Amino acid sequence: MTSLSNPDTSNSATPIILDGRQGGPSGDGGSDSAHERLFAGLNPQQREAAEYRGAALLIVAGAGSGKTSVLTRRIAGLLQSREAWPSQILAITFTNKAAAEMRERVQALVGDTAQGMWISTFHSACVRILRREAETIGKTQSFTIYDSGDTRALLKRIIKGLDADTLGFTVAGAAARISKLKNELTDIETYARSANLSDPQEVMFLEIFRQYTRQLRSANAFDFDDLIAETVFLFRAFPKVAALYQRRFRHILVDEYQDTNHAQYSLIRELTMPIAPAIADELEAQGHHVDRMRDPLGVIPGASLTVVGDSDQSIYAFRGADIRNIVEFERDFPGAKVVLLEQNYRSTQNILSAANSVIANNFDRKDKKLWTAVGDGDKIIGFTGYSGHDEAQFVADEIEKLHAAGMAYSEIAVFYRTNAQTRALEEIFIRSALPYRIMGGTKFYERAEIKDAMAYLTAVANPDDALALRRILNTPKRGIGPATETQLGSYADDNGVSFRQAMRDAGSLGLGPKVTAAILQLAGLLDTATEMVDPANPAGASPVADVLTYLLDESGYLDALRNSRDPQDEARAENVDELVAVTREFARNNPDGGLIDFLTEVSLVAAADEIDDSSGTVSLMTLHTAKGLEYDAVFLTGIEEDLLPHRMSANEPGGPAEERRLFYVGITRAKKRLFLSLAMTRAQFGETAVAMPSRYLQEIPADLIDWKQSPGTANGRGGSQSRALNARRPGLGSGSGSSGSGSSGSGSRWNDSPGSGGYGAGGGRAPDRPKAEWPNRVTGQVRDNGDLELVAGDRIRHSDFGDGRVTAVTGEGAKRVAHVQFEKVGAKKLLIKIAPIEKL
DNA sequence: TCCACCGCGATTTTT
DNA sequence: TCGCGGTGGA
């Protein structure tokens, strides 16, 4: 590694040398050297940002400019100098992982003094506030948080009930519209006032929105967007409640400010408002000592606000993020100080140059140029595959090379625009025995069996949650069908009782004896479990794991999975066991945590939170998930038109610019090596379609990229070249010797044409490849070679790579790996169990 | 009420 | 390609 002048890049593992405790609790005088040590190694801009004191500070932090360092030192400085108690600090990050990291780093700087800070995501912070203040707004402390799946389930029932689909309403459409309104803090009454009631479509939407709101309320539940919006409403409706938090948080710091939406922005505004004298008087009267904080007029000044962001990395406009929040910060907070961080401590100059020239094409931005003292580094590597699989093979091969050269798998990441692209990558990675992990794909907590188990817990924690009850009513099968469910629902509505109470009253509904018994049994089970978690229980509240085990056993859910004929149910049962293990783990980490705390934590996990730096695997994720992360080597795949920029973004205002930022974010994640790849054909909807190189590729200066196989060559309009390449059958150009075309890529770029007929030839290859070669999903049936025995010296034939000789066999059982020297494509590693190989 | 079968539509990104 | 919803028979 080239030596950096700044020892502290934003994610480095370098231990932090400072020990904040050494200064002792008092001495302001002696703290000078501690202070100096705290800020040692920061560049002048970073230092200015960390030390500035004033009402409002905007840190415009380019990618990799060490903003986490600045933030943590800023917090540490406030604590060390005794300007703030830990409890007066609120730091908001985008993911739980970022929050945990920040806490850790502050702790490393100042030690246990850091206890008591709120460092969390917007959502977690709001949940904390809402649980505390639930009664004020007509909820109970045990409210449920509905994730997008729950929201969809609820809307589905509502839309069906209203026959709204005939008017063209879809679940996704309604959900998006409601979400958007909530992000703009438009509640149902406000919306109703402005709605055009002569439009039947709009009337119907209003009804959907109304029912949705009503059902959430009666279920004692908030959806994701409510968490923010309701907190803002709470503060606005109850200034005294707001004042409690305004008084408490004196220093508020917000990371990734460019991705805040209007609701989040408003929340920050509320929290940083000064407290009027009258309310301050009341606080004082209630015993909150605030008089020392008041100014001569009796006002408690607003908290100081620090926001960090980079408008070039704003990639969540589709979700309501408003780039104006950061662009207009100085107008919103007059007198705000602005500090620019442009020195990059992460990437090589080549990578930064590529990033700079790409983002320069976005016209409405403040010019900002990242630079580094590290040096040029390696060139960016480009590759054009014939298909998504070909591209994936290139990625796998290059990863193996990097690994062989000493790079840890965990320092390598593969990014893509859409989750669908994981299929090809996964297939190739499995066959190549490459350890990988997909971040945020089908998330563990989104699996049906996990949601089922969680619904049992939710039903116990929040007896009003009808949605959870409906979910488990006939899971496992108890003979309680939709008709019965509807009857229970209307009984509850008619008698003004909860769904849960309706279940207890099943005896008086005139249902069949079998069904009645089943319902009563479930109701009894839940009631017993509710007693188990009741803190008033003389035996004390049972651990979550025990309750869960009890529910799963007594309901027969686990038995149903274990005795099922469906082979996938075995894996599902294992997942459920895994969930039980998670609850144990939770109890270990949170000795005071109860059922509600567990449910909250699970509801708020994000894709990026799963990343475990020590896992020793390559990380695969979408470009969105990649934000805020960094890796030694980064592969950006699928750099094609209609994928990046994505086809769906074309019609949206600002769409292409946001896609460009997404590309920019991807590029700037790379520390040392960057690989850009694309394919000439890509499978979608099961059919292969022709793909064109992304327009963004041309925005990177040609001399920065070394094309192992350029779109120009692979895609040549003359056709001769591409045909020649295609003719080179078995090798498939996968990484092998065919490189050296760097020059051809630089001189004549392919930008001259879409070349319509150009490479239909690529499709010509498809038929001679038998379908069965590509196993389906990893989860489904995969090719299985059983106990094929291979030893060094054996000759084998691979359906893609041709013939080769086994040089070694490593691993055990199903994970045995053959190291093979192929005649045409060189050395490869193959997972014996599933590789398309035969022994010769 | 449950299960097997068939046909169609979908796909952007996520706290 | 796959997963979902709708249909029809047991």
A224 closest-nt by C1' vs CA: B15
**Burial of A675: CB neighbours in 10 Å, binned 0-12, 13-18, 19+:** buried
Answer yes or no: is pLDDT of A767 > 70: no
d(CA A78, CA A135): 34
> For tokens 């290059």, what's the residue?
A398
d(CA A638, CA A421): 8
Which of the two residues, A149 and A90, has the higher pLDDT score?
A90
- CA-to-C1' distance for A803 and C1, Å? 30
C-alpha angle A126/A127/A128, rounded to 5°? 90
Q: Which residues, 6 or more positions from A756, have their beta carbon under 8 angstroms from its beta carbon?
A: none
| Catalytic residue, candidates A9, A45, A46, A67 | A67
SS3 A652: coil
- CA-to-C1' distance for A319 and B12, Å? 11
Q: How far from the centroid of its chain's Cα atoms is residue A713's Cα?
A: 37
Q: Does at least one atom of strand B sit less than 7 Å from the CB of A652?
A: yes
Element (H, E) at A707: strand A705-709
pLDDT, average across residues A184-208? 87
What is the pLDDT, as a whole number, of residue A270? 94
In A84-187, which residue ranges form alpha helices assigned H by DSSP?
96-110, 122-133, 148-162, 171-183
Q: Which of A268, A260, A359, A253 has its CA nearest to residue A308?
A: A253
| Catalytic residue, candidates A231, A313, A583, A622 | A313
- CA-to-C1' distance for A287 and B6, Å? 70
Read off the tokens for A124.
């977690």
CA-CA-CA-CA torsion sign (A561, A562, A566, A570): positive
Out of A20-29, A291-300, A385-394, A396-405, give the one with best mean pLDDT.
Answer: A396-405
Answer yes or no: is pLDDT of A272 > 90: yes
Read off the tokens for A307.
């926001």
Strand B positions closer than 7 A to protein CB? 1-3, 10-15
**Residue pLDDT, tens place only, A11-51:** 333 333 333 333 333 334 346 777 777 788 888 889 899 98
Q: Which of A111-115, A119-123, A482-486 has the lowest mean pLDDT?
A: A111-115
Q: Which one-letter amino acid corresponds to residue A327?
A: V
Read off the tokens for A679.
């394919």
pLDDT, average across residues A667-685? 91
Q: Does at least one atom of strand B sit less than 7 Å from the CB of A484?
A: yes
SS3 A676: strand
Residue nearest to nucleotide B9 (CA to C1'): A685
CB A468 within 8 A of CB A215: no
Read off the tokens for A581.
């293990």
CA-CA-CA-CA torsion sign (A282, A286, A290, A296): positive
Q: Which residues, 6 or more positions from A46, have their beta carbon under 8 angstroms from its beta carbon?
A: A6, A65, A66, A69, A70, A341
Q: Which of A223-227, A237-241, A322-326 has the lowest mean pLDDT?
A: A322-326
What is the pLDDT, as a whole number, of residue A783? 57
CB A722 within 8 A of CB A715: yes
- CA-to-C1' distance for A759 and C1, Å? 24
Read off the tokens for A801.
């790579």
SS3 A25: coil
What is the pLDDT, as a whole number, of residue A768? 28
Answer yes or no: is pLDDT of A550 > 70: yes
What is the pLDDT, as a whole number, of residue A30? 43
CB A312 within 8 A of CB A62: yes
Q: Does at least one atom of strand B sit less than 7 Å from the CB of A224?
A: yes
**Residue pLDDT, tens place only, A698-756:** 899 989 998 888 776 654 332 323 323 333 333 333 333 333 333 333 333 333 333 33
What is the pLDDT, as a whole number, of residue A200? 83
pLDDT, average across residues A578-606? 87
A121 closest-nt by C1' vs CA: B15
Element (H, E) at A306: strand A304-309
Q: Which residues, 6 or more positions from A578, have their beta carbon under 8 angstroms from its beta carbon?
A: A444
| Catalytic residue, candidates A8, A226, A256, A411 | A256
A780 closest-nt by C1' vs CA: C2
**Residue pLDDT, tens place only, A453-483:** 999 999 999 999 999 999 898 888 888 888 8
What is the pLDDT, as a whole number, of residue A394? 93
CB A648 within 8 A of CB A662: no
Q: Which of A710, A102, A625, A256 has its CA nearest to residue A413?
A: A625
> For tokens 């599933």, what's the residue?
A834
What is the pLDDT, as a whole number, of residue A591? 85
Q: Which long-range contacts (CB under 8 A, 24 or more apart) does A783-791 make?
A: A783/A834, A783/A835, A783/A836, A784/A833, A784/A834, A785/A832, A785/A833, A785/A834, A785/A835, A785/A837, A786/A833, A788/A832, A788/A833, A788/A837, A788/A839, A790/A816, A790/A818, A790/A832, A790/A839
CB A826 within 8 A of CB A731: no
The chain-wide mean pLDDT, for chain A, equals 81
Which of the two residues, A443 and A18, has the higher pLDDT score?
A443
A779 closest-nt by C1' vs CA: C2
**Residue pLDDT, tens place only, A121-166:** 999 999 999 999 999 988 899 999 998 888 988 888 888 888 777 7
What are the φ and ψ backbone dihedral angles of A430, each rounded to 5 degrees? -65, -45
A225 closest-nt by C1' vs CA: B15
> For tokens 């600090």, what's the residue?
A89
d(CA A651, CA A583): 45
CB A799 within 8 A of CB A824: no
CA-CA-CA-CA torsion sign (A625, A627, A632, A638): positive
A648 closest-nt by C1' vs CA: B12
Answer yes or no: is pLDDT of A629 > 60: yes
Element (H, E) at A254: strand A251-254
Strand C positions closer than 7 A to protein CB? 1-3, 5
Whether A669 is catalytic is: yes
Q: Which one-letter amino acid corresponds to residue A826?
A: G
d(CA A323, CA A270): 19
Q: Does at least one atom of strand B sit less than 7 Å from the CB of A419?
A: yes
- CA-to-C1' distance for A318 and C4, Å? 26
**Burial of A14: CB neighbours in 10 Å, binned 0-12, 13-18, 19+:** exposed
Per-residue pLDDT band at A402 (split at 50, 70, 90): very high
Residue nearest to nucleotide B2 (CA to C1'): A479
CB A601 within 8 A of CB A586: yes
Answer yes or no: is pLDDT of A1 > 80: no
Answer yes or no: is pLDDT of A800 > 80: no
- CA-to-C1' distance for A174 and C8, Å? 32
Per-residue pLDDT band at A392 (split at 50, 70, 90): very high
The angle that helices A224-237 and A171-183 make with each other, rounded to 10 degrees, is 30
Q: How far from the centroid of its chain's Cα atoms is residue A367's Cα?
A: 29
| Global pTM exceeds 0.85 | no
- CA-to-C1' distance for A601 and B1, Å? 37
Q: Does at least one atom of strand B sit less than 7 Å from the CB of A482?
A: yes
- DSSP 8-state class, residue A321: B
CB A801 within 8 A of CB A828: yes
Whether A103 is catalytic is: no
A649 closest-nt by C1' vs CA: B12
d(CA A495, CA A506): 13
Out of A52-61, A536-545, A796-805, give the one with best mean pLDDT.
Answer: A52-61
Whether A681 is catalytic is: no
Annotated binding site of A for ATP: 61-68
- CA-to-C1' distance for A816 and C1, Å? 29
Per-residue pLDDT band at A778 (split at 50, 70, 90): very low
Which of the two residues, A725 and A381, has the higher pLDDT score?
A381
In A347-461, which residue ranges form alpha helices assigned H by DSSP?
349-359, 388-404, 422-431, 448-461
Q: Which of A110, A118, A212, A123 has its CA nearest to residue A164?
A: A212
Annotated binding site of A: 61-68
Answer yes or no: is pLDDT of A757 > 50: no
Q: Does at least one atom of strand C sit less than 7 Å from the CB of A776?
A: yes
In the 664-693 segment of chain A, residues within 7 Å (Cβ) of strand C are 685-686
**Residue pLDDT, tens place only, A610-627:** 666 667 889 899 999 898
A318 closest-nt by C1' vs CA: B13
d(CA A102, CA A10): 10
- CA-to-C1' distance for A445 and B10, Å? 23
What is the pLDDT, as a whole number, of residue A170? 84
Q: Which of A225-229, A231-235, A768-772 has the lowest mean pLDDT?
A: A768-772
Which of the two residues, A343 and A162, has the higher pLDDT score?
A343
pLDDT, average across residues A228-241? 94
What are the φ and ψ backbone dihedral angles of A41, each rounded to 5 degrees? 90, -10
SS3 A149: helix
What is the pLDDT, as a whole number, of residue A513? 82
CA-CA-CA-CA torsion sign (A502, A508, A512, A515): positive
Whether A187 is catalytic is: no
**Percent of chain A scored above 70 by pLDDT?**
86
d(CA A69, CA A9): 8
Q: Does at least one atom of strand C sit less than 7 Å from the CB of A771?
A: yes
| Catalytic residue, candidates A9, A45, A46, A68 | A68
Q: Does at least one atom of strand B sit less than 7 Å from the CB of A625?
A: yes
CB A329 within 8 A of CB A307: yes
Q: Does at least one atom of strand B sit less than 7 Å from the CB of A148?
A: yes
**Percent of chain A scored above 90 by pLDDT?**
32
Interstrand relation of A380-385 and A670-679 (parallel, antiparallel or unpaired): parallel
Residue nearest to nucleotide B10 (CA to C1'): A685
- CA-to-C1' distance for A447 and C3, Å? 14
